[in-house]
Amino acid sequence: MMCRLLTEFKKHPEYNGSPIELALAAYNAGPGAVYDHKGVPGPSFSGGETYRYVRDIMANASRFVGSVGTSENPAQKARQAVEWALKQRGGWYQLGGDCTDPLGSDSGKWCDCSSLMQQAYKKVGVDIPRTTWDQVKIGHQVDIDHPAPGDLVFNPGYDGSDALPGHVGMYIGDGKIVEAPHTGAQIRVVSYDSWRHSTTPITRISKVVRVVEADTAPGNWQRPVHSSIGTPYHQAGGMWSSGYHTGVDFVVPSGTPIHAIGPGTVVSAGPGGAYGNQVIIKHEDGMYSQYAHMTRVEVSAGQTVRGGQEIGISGATGNVSGPHLHMEVRTGPAYGSDVDPVAYMRRKGIDI
Protein backbone atom coordinates (compact mmCIF):
# COMPACT_ATOMS: atom_id res chain seq x y z
CA MET A 1 0.00 0.00 0.00
CA MET A 2 2.77 2.43 0.91
CA CYS A 3 4.49 1.91 -2.46
CA ARG A 4 1.22 2.65 -4.25
CA LEU A 5 0.73 5.83 -2.22
CA LEU A 6 4.29 6.97 -2.91
CA THR A 7 3.78 6.45 -6.64
CA GLU A 8 0.52 8.39 -6.58
CA PHE A 9 1.81 11.41 -4.66
CA LYS A 10 4.92 11.78 -6.81
CA LYS A 11 2.42 13.11 -9.36
CA HIS A 12 1.72 16.13 -7.12
CA PRO A 13 4.94 18.12 -6.55
CA GLU A 14 2.79 21.19 -5.84
CA TYR A 15 1.37 19.62 -2.67
CA ASN A 16 2.66 20.64 0.76
CA GLY A 17 5.05 17.82 1.70
CA SER A 18 7.45 15.36 0.14
CA PRO A 19 6.03 12.19 -1.48
CA ILE A 20 6.91 10.11 1.59
CA GLU A 21 5.25 12.63 3.93
CA LEU A 22 2.13 12.67 1.76
CA ALA A 23 2.07 8.87 1.75
CA LEU A 24 2.40 8.76 5.55
CA ALA A 25 -0.44 11.27 5.92
CA ALA A 26 -2.63 9.23 3.56
CA TYR A 27 -1.80 6.05 5.47
CA ASN A 28 -2.91 7.73 8.70
CA ALA A 29 -5.93 9.75 7.57
CA GLY A 30 -6.79 8.38 4.13
CA PRO A 31 -5.85 9.72 0.68
CA GLY A 32 -8.92 11.96 0.63
CA ALA A 33 -7.56 14.07 3.47
CA VAL A 34 -4.34 14.69 1.55
CA TYR A 35 -6.20 15.63 -1.63
CA ASP A 36 -8.58 17.92 0.28
CA HIS A 37 -5.71 19.76 2.00
CA LYS A 38 -3.39 19.62 -1.04
CA GLY A 39 -0.72 18.19 1.20
CA VAL A 40 -0.17 17.03 4.75
CA PRO A 41 -3.15 18.24 6.84
CA GLY A 42 -2.17 20.93 9.34
CA PRO A 43 -2.44 20.93 13.14
CA SER A 44 -6.11 21.97 13.03
CA PHE A 45 -7.16 18.78 11.22
CA SER A 46 -8.43 15.94 13.43
CA GLY A 47 -6.87 17.42 16.54
CA GLY A 48 -3.45 17.45 14.92
CA GLU A 49 -3.15 13.65 14.97
CA THR A 50 -2.06 13.29 11.34
CA TYR A 51 0.25 16.30 11.51
CA ARG A 52 2.02 14.87 14.58
CA TYR A 53 2.11 11.37 13.10
CA VAL A 54 4.00 12.56 10.02
CA ARG A 55 6.20 14.96 11.98
CA ASP A 56 7.27 12.36 14.53
CA ILE A 57 8.06 9.65 11.97
CA MET A 58 10.10 12.03 9.83
CA ALA A 59 11.94 13.36 12.89
CA ASN A 60 12.84 9.84 14.00
CA ALA A 61 13.98 8.99 10.48
CA SER A 62 16.20 12.08 10.41
CA ARG A 63 17.76 11.18 13.75
CA PHE A 64 18.48 7.64 12.53
CA VAL A 65 20.08 8.86 9.31
CA GLY A 66 22.08 11.42 11.25
CA SER A 67 23.35 8.77 13.65
CA VAL A 68 24.97 6.73 10.89
CA GLY A 69 26.36 9.80 9.14
CA THR A 70 25.71 11.27 5.71
CA SER A 71 27.69 13.31 3.25
CA GLU A 72 25.57 15.97 1.60
CA ASN A 73 26.74 18.28 -1.11
CA PRO A 74 25.60 21.91 -1.20
CA ALA A 75 23.01 21.29 -3.93
CA GLN A 76 21.36 18.63 -1.75
CA LYS A 77 21.25 21.05 1.18
CA ALA A 78 19.66 23.69 -1.02
CA ARG A 79 16.95 21.25 -2.14
CA GLN A 80 16.27 20.27 1.47
CA ALA A 81 15.99 23.94 2.44
CA VAL A 82 13.42 24.33 -0.34
CA GLU A 83 11.49 21.31 0.92
CA TRP A 84 11.34 22.73 4.45
CA ALA A 85 10.18 26.14 3.25
CA LEU A 86 7.43 24.55 1.17
CA LYS A 87 6.12 22.69 4.20
CA GLN A 88 5.38 26.03 5.86
CA ARG A 89 2.86 27.09 3.22
CA GLY A 90 -0.29 28.34 4.86
CA GLY A 91 1.54 29.82 7.83
CA TRP A 92 0.76 33.50 8.46
CA TYR A 93 3.21 36.34 7.94
CA GLN A 94 4.36 38.16 11.06
CA LEU A 95 6.86 41.02 10.84
CA GLY A 96 9.67 40.23 13.25
CA GLY A 97 8.54 36.63 13.75
CA ASP A 98 11.40 34.18 14.18
CA CYS A 99 9.80 31.40 12.07
CA THR A 100 10.44 28.70 14.67
CA ASP A 101 6.82 27.47 14.52
CA PRO A 102 5.27 28.84 11.32
CA LEU A 103 2.07 26.80 11.58
CA GLY A 104 1.58 27.17 15.33
CA SER A 105 -0.61 29.53 17.36
CA ASP A 106 2.10 31.89 18.70
CA SER A 107 2.41 34.79 16.26
CA GLY A 108 5.91 35.56 17.53
CA LYS A 109 7.00 32.24 16.04
CA TRP A 110 5.47 32.87 12.63
CA CYS A 111 7.64 34.01 9.70
CA ASP A 112 8.52 37.17 7.93
CA CYS A 113 10.29 37.04 4.59
CA SER A 114 13.86 36.84 5.86
CA SER A 115 13.25 34.60 8.89
CA LEU A 116 11.67 32.02 6.54
CA MET A 117 14.93 31.98 4.57
CA GLN A 118 17.05 31.81 7.72
CA GLN A 119 15.14 28.92 9.26
CA ALA A 120 14.97 26.95 6.00
CA TYR A 121 18.75 26.90 5.80
CA LYS A 122 19.19 26.44 9.54
CA LYS A 123 17.23 23.19 9.27
CA VAL A 124 19.92 21.80 6.95
CA GLY A 125 22.86 23.04 9.02
CA VAL A 126 23.63 26.25 7.15
CA ASP A 127 23.64 29.49 9.15
CA ILE A 128 22.68 32.66 7.29
CA PRO A 129 21.97 36.16 8.67
CA ARG A 130 18.55 37.23 9.91
CA THR A 131 17.77 40.29 7.76
CA THR A 132 17.49 40.89 4.02
CA TRP A 133 20.15 43.59 4.24
CA ASP A 134 22.64 41.04 5.53
CA GLN A 135 21.40 38.03 3.54
CA VAL A 136 22.05 39.83 0.26
CA LYS A 137 25.77 40.01 1.14
CA ILE A 138 26.36 36.26 1.51
CA GLY A 139 27.23 33.64 -1.09
CA HIS A 140 27.64 35.09 -4.56
CA GLN A 141 25.45 36.77 -7.12
CA VAL A 142 24.17 34.67 -10.03
CA ASP A 143 22.47 35.47 -13.33
CA ILE A 144 18.85 36.52 -12.81
CA ASP A 145 17.87 34.42 -15.84
CA HIS A 146 19.42 31.22 -14.45
CA PRO A 147 18.42 30.69 -10.80
CA ALA A 148 18.81 27.32 -9.08
CA PRO A 149 16.70 25.79 -6.29
CA GLY A 150 17.64 27.36 -2.97
CA ASP A 151 18.79 30.68 -4.43
CA LEU A 152 17.59 33.78 -2.56
CA VAL A 153 15.71 36.22 -4.78
CA PHE A 154 15.58 39.86 -3.70
CA ASN A 155 13.38 42.87 -4.46
CA PRO A 156 14.93 46.33 -4.18
CA GLY A 157 14.44 48.58 -1.17
CA TYR A 158 12.29 51.69 -1.27
CA ASP A 159 15.27 53.61 -2.64
CA GLY A 160 15.44 51.20 -5.58
CA SER A 161 18.79 49.87 -4.42
CA ASP A 162 19.80 46.21 -4.49
CA ALA A 163 22.18 46.87 -1.58
CA LEU A 164 19.34 47.29 0.94
CA PRO A 165 16.58 44.97 -0.35
CA GLY A 166 13.07 45.23 0.95
CA HIS A 167 11.96 41.65 0.39
CA VAL A 168 13.33 38.16 -0.23
CA GLY A 169 11.96 34.84 -1.46
CA MET A 170 13.50 31.47 -2.33
CA TYR A 171 13.63 30.01 -5.82
CA ILE A 172 12.26 26.44 -5.67
CA GLY A 173 12.66 25.36 -9.29
CA ASP A 174 10.13 25.02 -12.13
CA GLY A 175 9.88 28.81 -12.43
CA LYS A 176 8.50 29.34 -8.91
CA ILE A 177 9.34 31.15 -5.66
CA VAL A 178 8.23 30.46 -2.08
CA GLU A 179 7.80 33.58 0.03
CA ALA A 180 6.30 35.03 3.19
CA PRO A 181 4.79 38.06 1.44
CA HIS A 182 3.37 40.66 3.84
CA THR A 183 1.12 41.27 6.84
CA GLY A 184 -2.26 39.60 6.45
CA ALA A 185 -1.00 37.04 3.94
CA GLN A 186 0.15 33.44 4.20
CA ILE A 187 3.37 31.78 3.06
CA ARG A 188 2.79 30.95 -0.58
CA VAL A 189 4.29 29.95 -3.92
CA VAL A 190 4.31 32.46 -6.79
CA SER A 191 5.78 32.44 -10.27
CA TYR A 192 9.33 33.64 -10.83
CA ASP A 193 8.20 35.52 -13.92
CA SER A 194 5.75 37.56 -11.85
CA TRP A 195 8.80 39.04 -10.13
CA ARG A 196 11.15 38.91 -13.12
CA HIS A 197 8.84 40.94 -15.37
CA SER A 198 6.94 43.02 -12.82
CA THR A 199 5.85 46.42 -14.07
CA THR A 200 6.26 47.82 -10.54
CA PRO A 201 9.93 48.60 -9.82
CA ILE A 202 9.71 47.72 -6.13
CA THR A 203 8.55 44.16 -6.89
CA ARG A 204 11.07 43.45 -9.65
CA ILE A 205 14.01 41.14 -9.05
CA SER A 206 17.07 43.19 -8.18
CA LYS A 207 19.49 40.41 -7.28
CA VAL A 208 19.75 36.61 -7.01
CA VAL A 209 22.20 35.13 -4.49
CA ARG A 210 23.42 31.53 -4.28
CA VAL A 211 23.82 30.65 -0.61
CA VAL A 212 25.59 27.32 -0.45
CA GLU A 213 27.78 27.10 -3.53
CA ALA A 214 30.35 29.19 -1.66
CA ASP A 215 30.46 26.28 0.77
CA THR A 216 31.45 23.91 -2.05
CA ALA A 217 34.92 22.58 -1.31
CA PRO A 218 37.37 21.85 -4.11
CA GLY A 219 37.06 18.19 -4.99
CA ASN A 220 33.31 18.06 -4.48
CA TRP A 221 31.42 15.83 -6.94
CA GLN A 222 27.89 16.72 -8.03
CA ARG A 223 25.22 15.99 -10.62
CA PRO A 224 25.55 18.03 -13.83
CA VAL A 225 21.86 18.98 -13.58
CA HIS A 226 19.05 18.07 -11.22
CA SER A 227 16.63 16.22 -13.48
CA SER A 228 15.67 12.74 -14.57
CA ILE A 229 17.50 10.66 -17.17
CA GLY A 230 15.69 10.11 -20.46
CA THR A 231 17.77 7.96 -22.80
CA PRO A 232 20.09 5.70 -20.76
CA TYR A 233 23.62 4.55 -21.48
CA HIS A 234 24.03 1.72 -24.02
CA GLN A 235 20.47 1.87 -25.34
CA ALA A 236 20.59 0.22 -28.77
CA GLY A 237 19.43 2.09 -31.84
CA GLY A 238 20.20 2.87 -35.45
CA MET A 239 20.31 6.63 -34.89
CA TRP A 240 23.76 6.29 -33.29
CA SER A 241 26.81 5.47 -35.41
CA SER A 242 28.11 3.14 -32.70
CA GLY A 243 24.82 1.24 -32.65
CA TYR A 244 24.15 2.30 -29.08
CA HIS A 245 23.85 5.45 -26.96
CA THR A 246 27.31 6.41 -25.72
CA GLY A 247 26.14 8.54 -22.80
CA VAL A 248 23.04 9.53 -20.87
CA ASP A 249 20.50 12.21 -21.74
CA PHE A 250 19.20 14.42 -18.94
CA VAL A 251 15.73 15.82 -19.55
CA VAL A 252 16.12 19.59 -19.22
CA PRO A 253 14.70 22.56 -21.13
CA SER A 254 16.90 25.06 -22.92
CA GLY A 255 18.40 27.57 -20.52
CA THR A 256 19.25 25.15 -17.70
CA PRO A 257 22.65 25.73 -16.00
CA ILE A 258 25.06 22.79 -16.47
CA HIS A 259 27.69 22.03 -13.84
CA ALA A 260 30.98 20.15 -13.89
CA ILE A 261 30.51 16.83 -12.10
CA GLY A 262 33.92 17.11 -10.48
CA PRO A 263 37.16 19.11 -10.42
CA GLY A 264 39.44 19.08 -13.42
CA THR A 265 40.81 20.95 -16.42
CA VAL A 266 38.82 21.89 -19.52
CA VAL A 267 40.45 20.30 -22.58
CA SER A 268 37.83 21.34 -25.13
CA ALA A 269 35.12 24.01 -25.19
CA GLY A 270 33.15 25.00 -28.27
CA PRO A 271 31.62 23.46 -31.41
CA GLY A 272 31.80 19.66 -31.52
CA GLY A 273 30.06 18.57 -34.71
CA ALA A 274 27.03 16.38 -33.99
CA TYR A 275 27.47 17.18 -30.29
CA GLY A 276 26.84 20.87 -30.93
CA ASN A 277 28.45 23.19 -28.41
CA GLN A 278 30.28 20.98 -25.93
CA VAL A 279 32.70 20.99 -23.00
CA ILE A 280 35.15 18.17 -22.21
CA ILE A 281 36.87 18.08 -18.81
CA LYS A 282 39.82 15.93 -17.75
CA HIS A 283 39.48 14.93 -14.10
CA GLU A 284 42.19 14.25 -11.57
CA ASP A 285 41.81 10.48 -11.94
CA GLY A 286 42.54 10.67 -15.68
CA MET A 287 38.91 10.20 -16.75
CA TYR A 288 37.02 12.66 -18.96
CA SER A 289 33.46 14.00 -18.80
CA GLN A 290 31.69 15.51 -21.80
CA TYR A 291 28.64 17.83 -21.84
CA ALA A 292 26.93 18.39 -25.19
CA HIS A 293 24.25 20.36 -27.09
CA MET A 294 24.77 23.56 -25.08
CA THR A 295 23.26 26.88 -26.03
CA ARG A 296 26.16 28.68 -24.40
CA VAL A 297 29.63 27.58 -23.25
CA GLU A 298 30.93 29.47 -20.20
CA VAL A 299 34.46 28.05 -19.86
CA SER A 300 37.50 27.82 -22.12
CA ALA A 301 40.18 25.23 -22.88
CA GLY A 302 42.92 25.16 -20.27
CA GLN A 303 40.69 26.53 -17.52
CA THR A 304 40.61 24.76 -14.14
CA VAL A 305 37.11 24.10 -12.80
CA ARG A 306 35.76 22.85 -9.50
CA GLY A 307 33.04 20.31 -8.93
CA GLY A 308 29.64 21.97 -9.19
CA GLN A 309 30.93 24.96 -11.14
CA GLU A 310 28.60 26.22 -13.88
CA ILE A 311 30.21 25.51 -17.25
CA GLY A 312 27.42 26.29 -19.70
CA ILE A 313 23.72 26.50 -20.49
CA SER A 314 21.69 23.65 -21.97
CA GLY A 315 20.14 23.83 -25.41
CA ALA A 316 19.57 21.94 -28.64
CA THR A 317 22.67 22.52 -30.77
CA GLY A 318 24.09 19.78 -32.97
CA ASN A 319 22.30 16.58 -33.94
CA VAL A 320 19.25 16.59 -31.65
CA SER A 321 15.49 16.21 -31.76
CA GLY A 322 14.96 18.63 -28.88
CA PRO A 323 16.70 20.32 -25.95
CA HIS A 324 18.49 18.12 -23.41
CA LEU A 325 21.91 17.52 -21.88
CA HIS A 326 23.87 14.63 -23.39
CA MET A 327 26.68 13.64 -21.04
CA GLU A 328 29.44 11.06 -21.44
CA VAL A 329 32.28 9.76 -19.29
CA ARG A 330 35.33 8.53 -21.21
CA THR A 331 38.75 7.03 -20.66
CA GLY A 332 40.12 9.49 -23.23
CA PRO A 333 39.01 12.82 -24.70
CA ALA A 334 37.78 11.39 -28.01
CA TYR A 335 34.60 9.65 -29.13
CA GLY A 336 34.62 5.86 -28.74
CA SER A 337 36.19 5.62 -25.27
CA ASP A 338 32.94 5.83 -23.36
CA VAL A 339 32.12 4.08 -20.07
CA ASP A 340 28.90 4.00 -18.05
CA PRO A 341 28.54 7.59 -16.76
CA VAL A 342 26.00 6.74 -14.06
CA ALA A 343 28.21 4.03 -12.59
CA TYR A 344 31.18 6.41 -12.64
CA MET A 345 29.28 9.19 -10.89
CA ARG A 346 28.00 6.81 -8.24
CA ARG A 347 31.56 5.68 -7.53
CA LYS A 348 32.34 9.32 -6.88
CA GLY A 349 29.53 9.51 -4.33
CA ILE A 350 27.05 11.36 -6.54
CA ASP A 351 23.42 10.60 -5.73
CA ILE A 352 21.98 9.67 -9.11
Taking only the tens place, the pLDDT of each residue in 158-217 is 777 778 899 999 999 878 999 999 999 999 999 998 888 877 777 788 888 888 753 333
- Its CATH class, for the domain covering 229-348, is mainly beta
Using CA atoms, how far apart are residues 230 and 162, in angstroms rounded to an integer? Answer: 40
Residue 14: predicted pLDDT = 58
pLDDT computed for residue 216 by the predictor: 39
Domain spanning 74-210: CATH superfamily: endopeptidase domain like (from Nostoc punctiforme) (3.90.1720.10)
Where along the chain do the CATH 2.70.70.10 domains lie?
Answer: 229-348
Taking the C-alpha atoms of residue 118 and residue 229, their distance in angstroms, rounded to an integer, is 33
Which amino acid would we find at residue 240?
W
64 has pLDDT over 50: no
Mean pLDDT of the residues in the chain: 84
Distance, CA of 67 to CA of 134 (rounded, Å) = 33
**Residues paired with residue 61 on neighbouring β-strands, in sequence order:** none
Check pLDDT > 80 for residue 133. yes
Separation between Cα atoms, residue 349 and residue 31, nearest integer Å? 36
Burial of 50 (0-12, 13-18, 19+ CB in 10 A): buried
Helices (H), the chain: 2-9, 19-29, 31-37, 49-68, 74-87, 113-122, 132-135, 192-196, 341-347
pLDDT tier at 73, thresholds 50, 70, 90: low
Question: Residue 281 above 90 pLDDT?
Answer: yes
Q: Shortest CA distance to 326 belongs to which of 224, 226, 242, 236? A: 224
Neighbours of 340 (CB within 10 A): 16
pTM of the model: 0.48
Residues of the chain with CATH 3.90.1720.10: 74-210
